[in-house]
Amino acid sequence: MSARTLFRNARLLDPASGLDQPGDLLVEDGRIAALGRPCAAGDAEIVDCAGACLAPGLVDMRVELREPGAEHQESMETGAAAAVAGGVTTIVALPNTEPVIDDMALVEFVARRSRDVGLARIRTYAAATKGLKGRELTEFGLLAAAGALAFTDAGRAIADAVVMRRALAYARTFDLLVMQHPEEPSLAAGGAMTEGEVATRLGLAAITPAAEVIMVERDLRLAEITGGRLHIAHVSTEAAIEAIRGAKRRGLAVTCDTAPHYFALNETAVGDYRTFAKVSPPLRSEWDRRAVVAGLADGTIDAIASDHSPHDQESKRLPFASAASGIIGLETLLPLTLELYHNGHLGLLDALRALTERPAAILRLPAGRLAIGVAADFVIFDLDQPWRIDVDALRSKSKNSPYDGRPVQGRVLRTVIAGRSVFLHRG
């Protein structure tokens, strides 16, 4: 594209400002120069949006990219390609790679690879404990200075309460964020799916839903003691959501996210041992699924993240108890979230806010909004276009998704980063 591009006849959507109106958006030198009323084209290249929605690029705050160490499952290049196809312009990668991202050199490696790939903007967390072993804290200050956005042991809970208290206190000295996987490990050990009738019928070792709220309530108390900033990842149970709701009322510095599979699926998706529906925390009851929707509707749950977790066939095509946990989600994040709008559970701006403004605010990223002067990172999508998810057509290197054949509404037409089209749907 030229240095000036005019996106004309769009439905402009910006949750940060409440904007929802037809209009134009002008890009100059990679930044938004004007938006709203019809703009004079001048020498700008013109893109006719034909009434499609134009919204800030999605900020996916929970993604496993597998590089370095397991590029046969996903690489930064294939993950970024999947991201832009899903309208995601900023990825935040988890540190559970091989080696673990627990030193400055690896944080800098992610930044270099992001520039080399040249698609989605890739940022990273750093491990909260060395080697994700839950014992010795990493150098939060130095890692943050190198570019780490927050600190987490990814899919492992920091089980030791003393270590977690130290992490929150240490992070507070630098005003940094600690992210926790909400599952008490001893209660979850050996379990394959959530406790209940389905697990009993299938004869699978179960994980009590209480494992989530027990960890959440412990960490809320530690956040209260230390004054640290706590983020609870992929909440999935009514009890945990209610605990977070109460903590927010008390003014604690706590935020949380969920993933589409916790509001789009329930435990019955496991069916007859479908390992593609095995996730951590596990899919919950219909009651808990509805509680997740309610938590999104009232703002208790701040953000929606894909929880993209790619696995090869060998990791998934195993007996259910032995199979790896996790599903891919970058390309299905937007249409599954739009189900909340189409089903009447959330307003359109509220649904988009959970994918843009809120995750950007939690991580203090200059992203997730449409405003004059900011980087021109946005997605253009057809809100109503129906299609079926075809796992084989997804750009992720791994294909472990339980949504194959699911009908959805909402198709990404174009993804733009710094004014440059990095994805264009050909359909």
What does the DSSP assignment read for 147-185? T---EE-TTS----HHHHHHHHHHHHHTT-EEEE----H
List the catalytic residue out of 24, 153, 219, 307.
307
Q: Do 107 and 38 share a structural domain?
A: no
- Judge contact between 157 and 213, C-beta under 8 A: no
Q: What is the pLDDT of residue 1?
A: 47
Shared domain check, 294 and 236: yes
Residues 6+ apart with CB under 8 A from 372: 32, 33, 34, 35
pLDDT of residue 2: 55
Regarding whether 93 and 78 lie in a shared domain, the answer is yes
Q: Are residues 134 and 168 in the same domain?
A: yes
Helix or strand holding residue 408 (H, E): strand 407-417
Instruction: Look at residue 37 in the predicted model and tell me its pLDDT.
Output: 79
The 10 Å Cβ neighbour count of residue 418 is: 14
Domain that holds residue 31: 4-54+375-424
**Whether 390 and 323 share a structural domain:** no
Residue 352 lies in a domain: yes
Q: How far is CA 159 from CA 26, 68, 91, 215, 219, in A?
A: 50, 26, 27, 8, 10
- Could you read off the pLDDT tens digit of each residue along the chain, which spans 427 residues? 458 999 999 999 999 999 999 999 999 999 999 998 777 778 889 999 999 999 999 999 999 999 999 999 999 999 999 999 999 999 999 999 999 999 999 999 999 999 999 999 999 999 999 999 999 999 999 999 999 999 999 999 999 999 999 999 999 999 999 999 999 999 999 999 999 999 999 999 999 999 999 999 999 999 999 999 999 999 999 999 999 999 999 999 999 999 999 999 999 999 989 999 999 999 999 999 999 999 999 999 999 999 999 999 999 999 999 999 999 999 999 999 999 999 999 999 999 999 999 999 999 999 999 999 999 999 999 999 999 999 999 999 999 999 999 999 999 999 999 999 999 998 7
State how many domains the chain has: 2
Shared domain for 346 and 381, answered yes or no, is: no
The rounded distance, in Å, linking the Cα atoms of 300 and 323 is 32
Same domain, 358 and 384: no
Judge if 139 and 283 occupy the same domain: yes
Question: Is 307 among the catalytic positions?
Answer: yes
pLDDT of res. 427 = 73
| CB burial string 365-393: b at 16+ within 10 A, e below | bebbbbeeebbbbbbbbbbebeeebebee
Shared domain check, 68 and 91 = yes
Dihedral (Cα; 221, 226, 227, 232), 10-degree rounding: -50
The pTM of this model reads 0.97
| CATH code, 44 | 2.30.40.10
Please list, in sequence order, all residues whose beta carbon lies within 8 angstroms of the beta carbon of residue 343, skipping any fewer than 6 positions away: none
Same structural domain, 49 and 92: no
